[in-house]
A and B are shown apart, each in its own frame.
Chain A
Amino acid sequence: MSAPTFLRRPNRVLSVYAILFLAALYFPILLIPLFSFNTSIYVRFPLEGFTTEWFGQLWDRQPMWDSLWASFKVGVPVSILSTTLGVLAARSIARDRVPGRSAVVTFIMLPLVIPTLIFGVALLALLSRLGVPLSLYTVAFGHLIVCLPFAVATLLPRFEGFDRSLEQASADLGEDGWWTFWRVTFPLVMPGIVASLLLTFTISFDEFIMAFFLSGNETTLPIYLWTQLRFPQEFPSVLALGSLIILFSLPLILIGMWISRLGLHEDTTKEAKT
C-alpha cells in the first residue's frame, strides 16, 4: 500500500528543524574534542592555537591510569554478568504463558526510571548495615543494578522476534534443552548478546552516581574525572580525557546500537524501547 500524497510530500520547515535539532544535540559534545586541542587553558573563543600538550600531560598521570584500569575491572565483569542474567530473564519473559509478566518487566525496568541517587544511598545504607567494606566489588554490584534493565531491553526484542518452531524442531530432532539453547537459540540471539555486552560495558564505564557512593579506595574513571573538575586549571586535561572517552565509547555504542537493531522487524524494535 502506498502512502497518500500528503504524507509523502516533504516538509521543508520540519526538515530544517531536524537539521537544527541534530546540530544542537551534537554541538555541546563536539566542543570537548575541539577545545582539547586548544593552547589556552581557558575554555573560550577565539581559539588560540593547536596543541597536543594536554594529552601528553594526561599520559603521565598515574592516578588516571589506575582509575582507567579500575573501570575496566568493573565494566568487563558487569557487562558479562548483566548480559548473562539478561539472556535468562529475556528468554523467559518472551514466553507468552508466564503469569505476572508485566509486573516482572516493570520491576526489572524500575532502575531505569527511579533516580540512581536513591538507589545509590539505599545500597550504601544496606552495605554499611551489613558491614561490607566499600570496594570495586560494591561498585560493580551497583552497576549491575543499573545495567540489568538495559540488558533486558536490548535482548527482549531478539527473543520476541524469535521463531519458536526452530526450537521445537530441535526438540523433535532429539536435542535436550541445553543443546537446543546452544545450537539454536544462542546463535539466533547472538546479535542481541553482542549489543548488550557493548552497551552495558559503556554504561558501567560512564556510570558516576553508583561509583560516587559505593567506591572504596580504588575509584573508577568518572570519579577521577569528577575530582579533576573541581579545579578550573585542570579543565584542559579534563577536556583531553573527555575526548578520549568519547572517542573510545563512540564505536562501542555505534556497533552496539547498529547490531541490536539489525534484522529486527520495526515492530519489535519499537516495543523494546518503550
Chain B
Amino acid sequence: MTQTSSIDPQLTSRPTRTSGRIARFLRRNEGLHSYLLMSPTLIILTIGVIIPCLILLVISFWTRAGIGFDTMPSLANYARGVNEPMFGILLGRSFKISGIATIATIAICYPMAYFVAFHVHRNKMLWLILITLPFWISYLLRVFAWKVILGFEGVINSSLLWLGWIEAPLEFLLYSPTGVIITLTHAWAAFAILPLYVSLEKIDKSLLVAATDLGDGPVARFFRITLPLSMPGVIAASFLIFIPTTGDYITPALLGGPDGMMIGNLIQAQFGAINNWPMGATLAIILMLWIAAVAVAFLYLTRLAQARIA
C-alpha cells in the first residue's frame, strides 16, 4: 500500500488540500498511522483501566478517618489484610472455589470440544453457536436460574420430594460453596469451549495417522498426541475461567450464603455498606497480586511439565 499510494497527489480525485501533506506523511509512516487510528481506544482504556487502577493503588495506602480519608500513606490496611484471618480465609476460599470450578469446567468441556473438533464434519458453525450462545445470555439470569434450581423449595428438592426419593429438602445445595461451584461451572462452560476447540482443531491430523501407523491404539494416541498438543488450549481456558471467577460477585452473593461468600463480596461491602474504601482498595490490590502470582506459578509449572515431557 505504501508503494502504490505514493501516486502523484494531483491525480487523486478528492484530496483534501489542507490535510494532504499530513496524509502523505502518515501514509509513509504506517506504524504511526496505525497508532493514530488506535489512539481513541487506547486513550479510553488508559482513562478507564490504567488510571483507575493506579488510583486504587494510591487509595489502598490511605486509611479511613471518620467519613473521610486520612491520605497519609500507611501500610495499615495491608497489615490488616495479612493479620486478620477473615481476609485470608475469604481469599483462600475464593481460590478454592474458582480452582474447583475451573477444573470441573475443563473436564466437562474437553470431551465436548473434542467431539466438535473431530467428530462433527458438517454444520460445525451451528454447533459452535449452540454451545457459545448461553454465554451471551444475561449472567444475572443464568445465576438466578440456578437459585431457582438449587433452592430449599427449588426445582431439585421439590422434584425429589414429589418423587418420594427424599424425606426432607437437601440443604447443602443452596447457600453453600457447592452451589457456587455448580453455578460457576455452568456459567463459564461456553467460554471454556472455544480455546479448547481451537487447540484441538489445529492438531495436524497426519500426526494421528502416523501414530496409528506406528501401532498406537486410540488411548495411546490420545495421551501421546492429542492431549499434549491441546495443552495450550487447556491452559488458555484455565486462565479465562479462573481469573474472572475469583473476583466474581453475583454468584456468591445470590447463592453463596455466609459459607459461600467470596472475596468479591467483601470488596463490594467495603465500598458499600462497610464504607471503608481504602480497605476495599487494598483487598482489590491483594486479589490482583494473588491472581498474578497464581498465574505466573501456573505458567511456570506448565512450562516445566512440558519441558520434562519433550
- Indicate if the CB atoms of A115 and B4 lie closer than 8 Å: no
Q: Is B51 an interface residue (CB 8 A)?
A: yes
Q: A228-263 interface mask toward B, CB cutoff 8 Å, 1 = contact, 0 = none?
A: 010000010011001001100110011001100100
Contact with A along B123-140 (1 / 0, CB 8 A): 011001111111011111
At the interface, yes or no: B108 with Cβ under 8 Å from chain A? yes
Indicate the member of A97, A104, A118 with the most B CB atoms within 10 Å: A118
> Does any Cβ of A come within 8 Å of B96's Cβ?
no
- Contact flag A222-B162 (CB < 8 Å), given A117-B247, A126-B51: no
Which of chain A's residues have a CB closer than 8 A to the CB of B59? 125
Which of A8, A199, A258, A270 is in CB contact (< 8 Å) with B201? A270
Report the nearest B residue to A123, measured CB to CB: B52
Q: Is A124 an interface residue (CB 8 A)?
A: yes
A274 touches B159 (CB 8 A): no
| Residue B103 CB within 8 A of the other chain | no
Contact segment of A50-58, A106-114, A186-194:
A106-114
Asked if A148 CB lies within 8 Å of chain B CBs, one says yes
* B49 at interface by CB-CB < 8 Å: yes
Q: Which residues of A sit under 8 angstroms from B154, Cβ to Cβ?
A: 43-44
B292 to chain A, nearest CB (A): 10
Question: Which one of B7-15, B80-88, B173-181 contacts A?
Answer: B7-15
* B residues near A222, Cβ cutoff 8 Å: 138, 140
Residue of A nearest to B277 (CB): A125
With contact pairs A10-B119, A29-B142, A114-B243 given, residues A164 and B186 touching in the complex (Cβ less than 8 Å) = no
Q: A1-25: which have CB < 8 Å to B?
A: 3-4, 6-8, 10-11, 14-15, 17-18, 21-22, 24-25
Q: What CA separation (Å) do A148 and B287 show in the bound complex?
A: 24
| Bound form: Cα–Cα A152–B44 in Å | 14
Contact, CB under 8 Å: A4 / B45: no
Q: How far is the CB of A2 from chain B (nearest CB, A)?
A: 10
The smallest beta-carbon distance between B175 and chain A, in angstroms, is: 13
B215 at interface by CB-CB < 8 Å:
no
B5 within 8 A of partner (CB): yes
The interface centre, meaning the residue of B55, B159, B246 with most chain A CB atoms within 10 A of its CB, is B55
What is the CA–CA distance of A26 and B40 in the complex, to the nearest angstrom? 39
Name the interface residues of A193-224: CB closer than 8 Å to any CB of B.
Answer: 199, 202-203, 206, 208-209, 212-213, 222
Instruction: Indicate if the CB atoms of B280 and A175 lie closer than 8 Å.
Output: no
Interface size class of A (residues with CB under 8 A): 35 or more
* Selected contact of B162 from candidates A45, A122, A257, CB within 8 Å: A45
User: Which of chain B's residues have a CB closer than 8 A to the CB of A253?
Assistant: 133, 136-137
Chain A residue, CB-CB nearest to B236: A274
Let me know if A131 is at the binding interface, CB within 8 A. no
Question: Complex formed: what's the CA distance from A116 to B139 in Å?
Answer: 13
State which of A4, A43, A119 has its C-beta within 8 Å of the C-beta of B205.
Answer: A4
Contact of B11 among A85, A174, A226, A273 (CB under 8 A): A174
Whole-angstrom CA separation of A139 from B137 in the bound complex: 20
Complex formed: what's the CA distance from A73 to B147 in Å?
30
The CA-CA distance from A98 to B250 in the complex, in Å, is 39
Complex interface: chain B residues within 8 A of A203 (CB):
136
B298 at the interface (CB under 8 A from A): no
- Docked complex Cα distance between A95 and B40 (Å): 17
A–B Cβ pairs within 8 angstroms, 14 of them:
A4-B205, A15-B115, A28-B186, A45-B158, A92-B36, A98-B34, A113-B239, A115-B248, A145-B49, A176-B13, A199-B136, A208-B139, A246-B141, A257-B136
